[in-house]
Chain A
């Protein structure tokens, strides 16, 4: 009698234990949410889905025998559409983690929804440093880059080479505002001056009016606090109005590989930019890029794609260790506890405020004659070591970092 009772208790314990280790809904669902059709579709878009798939394939397609699925959606750069998709995914479709989400205004909305539902949010595409600052969350990891890191890279480099008075062309939403704020701080801290700024609508086509205002400001540097198609159009039209010949220089604060490809080296050469990843860095990144490009209509991976790959891989590793995906905050805690290591970002860690720490790189765009062909665009100017690349923990104002 005693024996059977004991056996029953043991069985119960095993059953409870295995029930605990099960994944919610019987699968792990990864939702890639980004701009699939607008101005950010090339630098994130379908490529991010491919990057997530590559991470999953490399991991073996399952976590401890539980199937992993990838779904995707287009948020059209609109916070309301983004949060509707997120709610639908979390509440109805059983999605456990949302990845990528460029467009900071949308990312900030998803940040709130994810925390409310206690799921996981892995940010690669969005830039606003608020995500690990005042808006930091125990459910969010900010992987690839942020506005502070961009300002610290490009902004600092430009001020130190003599560009000490600035005028900003700023995309009028959360990202542009954050980038202008963080860059202004760097400019002023390094002895420079900010003469003014003009805010333009997102996905604007004609920049001549704004460029003219920047020109008449007399600033030495025109800082482009925008991204994607907005940046390429600003740079292209600045050439038309003779801004650079007139003695002013342009600082593209967020320029992606796909933007340089779209501009062509004729127009883009000489631009200085900060990135977390470049495909032509070593054998592993080249191998990754070759496979990625084959699956993505020849488009080579941007740092956002690399960040999606790397963050999904680390998420899966944490799940494997933890054995359960239901409690998002626990999964993120595990991700912070385990050191990160993969073939694109190398060794790193996720800080308590959710910031993923790794080196950043300052690149210069090659002259046409220096390039061996399409996608051979950057030469390395400087490596910013991991401990200097991101905002120090105590300066972000993140409540998680205080306790």
Chain B
């Protein structure tokens, strides 16, 4: 067999090379090369408003400045806070929705399509819808909360940090929970039905079935959803740009927004690159976990 397969294999290899090269070189050119450039720039002084300073190598000075920069630390804190809160809420709510939708019922297709809508619309649009709903004058949130007696008078949500976070978190949960639910639903549908039937015969309660069958078997999917969402939440930019602009002051500013401001408004490309590298390292650390988790199953499937 091998004797006959050899020329074919060589031919395959050649074809594979020809097929893979364009895509891989595009990716290398516009993603990997810029990334290395960012790394290189983070070791240099580059302030485009001050061309007289040139572009000297300054070692780790940018990183030293970063360590002393309170706005960096607070934006990192905001990002972590946002990530932890939204991802946990989304996983819990997503699981509830997935469980509810995990059966055939009338209008299931419609329900699934509806829940996909928030995921599909532009994040900026979602942010603006929530800003509108939390507008101090025209907002329906104030109208509702006053009507049911939670608030005495309309509230200005975006002038204080604690209250500004509420629409931020709600809008992200609204936008991405459906995505989590759909992932989890797909996972649920892979679970062998007979396990439930057997448990039911044994007289196990629904609660017991959830904790001892559903959740353990769903673990890999939950893990994937968790990592997907964590990476996404950590990069949050659009939502806060359109919803709070990072304000009041910089009280809700995430690290991506701070980095963007440093680069494109202050034109400090060197320092901004150092910030970018930090974001990348943290994200990539998380991504490595994902690739490892997924990579194992990848090779498993190939066999």
A binds B: no
A residues whose Cβ falls under 8 Å from a Cβ of B: none
